[in-house]
Structure 1
Amino acid sequence: MIQNDRVGIFWIAFSVSVSLVVALAPLPTVVAAGRPLFYPATLLFWVLMQPTRFGVGTAWLGGLLLDVIFGTPLGQHALALALAAYATVRLRSILWTLAPLQQLVLLLPIFAGYEFVLFWIDGVMGVSTSMLWRWLPVLTTGLIWPFWSALLERVALLEVR
């Protein structure tokens, strides 16, 4: 685990940028509906592993970036990511001691909470979405989390060692 190592800002920025590109990559509609939440998963990984650099404020700013890119109501993703980051910070003492597959048990409700906040705000705004398409990204994020977190840790360790 890299929670005690100082990871270079280049690798953090690189991983966040790659996750944003993956989140924005055009896909067929059926495939895009199940796209994992790469960007939130990456931000929450860094909130978990580098708490002195990433926290609720960074997640809020990252969410604002998503709001601007996707054209959603300003603050929608920001609020969802800030709440998810807060939950991750609160559970950090437990999460960082667990293996990625075990972390998933605690992170899956956080990802579901992230999607619920988006769902709630969309409902207030009158935007309708199929329930399957709304919750499918949570499940696919759960499937990729062990692999994604291992990849992010490997990339971060390139500079630490």
Structure 2
Amino acid sequence: MAINPFGNSEILRPVNPWFILISLSAALLFKLLPLDRSWITPDLLALVLVFWNIRQPRRIGIGVAWCFGAAVDVHTASVFGEHALAYTLLSYFAITIHRRVMWFSPVMQAAHIFPLLLAAQAITVAIRVMFGGIFPGPWMFAESALTAALWPLTQFLLLAPQKLPQHRDNDRPI
């Protein structure tokens, strides 16, 4: 019996480019919300970028990640390039491991994604500290753990439009 490299036996429809744009834009809007940042909030933009880098590496690449990172830098009035560098490196390494990650279950995929998210967050903290900011403490890195924990849910939600119906319809060619 052959093992399916994508973790399930479902056939997925091709992804709609508008759906990719809408999901990335929604994640950016969540990142731009004026939330109390003293609480741990997941970085949904990084999560959605990693998802599309793994699933569609030819459509969503390093340039898209840099543009979204630059938008976050402008909005947060942080050092320009802080998030752009972090998201660019995050996308690069997500594209690097995209074939290997697809072989695992969603929970194991989250375990592979966690170090990438942690490194991206460490880059932003390091840049802030280099430019005179104070180190917020190690509890800040819990954001990466929370973001990685949302990976199975994110995968379920973002793959839902591509899934074919359960029952075959005789009028459809597939």
> TM-score, structure 2 length as denominator?
0.81
**Could you list the runs of 5+ residues in structure 1 that have no partner in the other structure?**
none
Question: Given the superposition, is the C-alpha separation of residues 75 and 54 from structure 1 closer, same or farther in structure 2, using an over 3 Å criterion?
Answer: same
Q: Highest relative contact order (Cα 8 Å, sep 6+), 1 or 2?
A: 1
Alignment of 1:16-95 (within 5 A): 16-30=24-38, 33-95=39-101
- Tell me the CA shift for residue 23 of structure 1: 2.1
The amino acid that maps onto 2:26 is V
Q: Aligned residue for 2:137?
A: 131
Which amino acid in 2 is paired with 1:65?
A
Provide the residue aligned with 1:146 in structure 2. 152
Cα separation, partners in 2 of 1:156 and 1:5, compared to 1, 3 Å: closer
Q: Offset at 1:26?
A: 3.3
In the TM superposition, residue 24 of structure 1 has moved relative to its aligned partner by: 2.5
Once the two structures are TM-superposed, the CA of residue 73 in structure 1 deviates from its matched residue by: 1.3
User: For 1:53-77, what per-residue CA distance to the aligned partner results, in whole angstroms no more than 9, with x for missing partners?
Assistant: 1111211111111111111111110
Deviation beyond 3 Å, 4+ runs, structure 1: 26-30, 155-158
Asked if 1:112 is matched to 2:118, the reply is: yes
The 2-side partners of 1:55 and 1:28 are apart by 30
Normalized per residue, the structure richer in helix is 1
Is contact 2:28–2:68 with CA below 8 Å preserved after alignment?
Answer: no
Q: Identity of aligned pairs, percent?
A: 26
Of the structure 1 ranges 19-28 and 109-118, higher mean CA displacement relative to structure 2 is found in 19-28
Which of these two proteins has the greater Rg computed from alpha carbons?
2
Residue 11 of structure 1 contacts residue 156 of structure 1 at CA under 8 Å; is this kept in 2? no
State how far apart, in whole Å, the 2-side matches of 1:77 and 1:29 are: 16
Aligned partner of 1:15 in structure 2 is: 23
Corresponding residue pairs, total? 157
Deviation at 1:13, TM superposition (A): 1.1
